[in-house]
């Protein structure tokens, strides 16, 4: 008497997971076309939906056949139908993900990382200027100090080690600082984020300077005259 409800629960869960995976596919297709790809929160949303779809597909793979076999042994037609519906919807979602690529899906995740990296550099440099009276001369000066040492002007521990080395998730970061006032202090900076393999890692190039405004170009390096992003 207690097995049948548990079996139906698995069958219902299988169907729900299959439908959620399908919903994630169509939501991703829609969001890729409607939302800007230059902001980090968009990348996080798309990644979350992708992970949710993968989890649901894995659950369908386990729960669907299990519930169908148990329902068949119990001659439970409703449970069998629910399990078949879950397997069908999950299989359809898997085929859609396999056969219909996400628009520019290779391009999205590195872009979010590049924009986030430039924002980190800009914010870190503001903090560095407040601490030491000028902007950092190199990315390494914004990065972490050697193990066992405390932060200093040469390694302020304001960005992570990967960014301090100028490489992160398919993008190369170039950094320049200068003394525009001629007083011996670095009062301006600019940073570029360019794809390691243009056209494969990404198509977009990004730029930020002491204004904190991030700018973007497609298929060529960005500069202070490029289009700003939100």
Q: Write down the pLDDT at residue 49.
A: 84
CA dist 80 and 73 (Å) reads 10
pLDDT digits (tens, 9 = 90+) for 18-73: 899 889 888 887 776 665 554 556 667 777 888 898 898 898 888 878 878 877 77
Q: Which two tokens stand for residue 41?
A: 């929160």
Domain boundaries, the chain: 3-103, 106-228
Those residues of the chain that have pLDDT short of 50 are 1-3, 38, 105-106
pTM: 0.57
CA dist 82 and 159 (Å) reads 51
Contact 221, 207 (CB under 8 A): yes
CA dist 15 and 80 (Å) reads 11
Average pLDDT, the chain: 84
Q: Write down the pLDDT at residue 200.
A: 60
Q: Write down the pLDDT at residue 194.
A: 93
């Amino acid at each position: 008497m207690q097995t049948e409800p548990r079996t139906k629960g698995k069958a219902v869960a299988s169907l729900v997971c299959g439908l959620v995976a399908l919903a994630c596919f169509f939501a991703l297709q829609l969001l890729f076309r409607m939302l800007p790809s230059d902001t980090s929160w968009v990348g996080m949303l798309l990644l979350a939906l992708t992970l949710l779809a993968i989890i649901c597909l894995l659950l369908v793979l386990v729960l669907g056949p299990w519930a169908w076999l148990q329902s068949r042994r119990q001659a439970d037609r409703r449970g069998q139908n629910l399990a078949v519906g879950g397997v069908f919807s999950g299989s359809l979602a898997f085929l859609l993900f396999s056969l219909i690529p996400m628009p520019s899906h290779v391009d999205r995740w590195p872009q979010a990382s590049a924009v986030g990296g430039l924002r980190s550099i800009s914010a870190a440099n503001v903090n560095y200027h407040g601490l030491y009276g000028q902007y950092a001369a190199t990315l390494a000066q914004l990065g972490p100090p050697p193990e066992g040492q405390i932060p200093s002007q040469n390694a302020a521990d304001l960005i992570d080690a990967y960014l301090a080395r100028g490489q992160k998730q398919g993008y190369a970061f170039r950094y320049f600082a200068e003394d525009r006032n001629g007083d011996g202090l670095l009062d301006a900076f600019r940073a570029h984020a360019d794809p390691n393999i243009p056209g494969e890692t990404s198509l977009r190039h990004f730029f930020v300077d002491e204004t904190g405004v991030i700018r973007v170009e497609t298929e060529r390096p960005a500069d202070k005259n490029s289009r700003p992003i939100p």
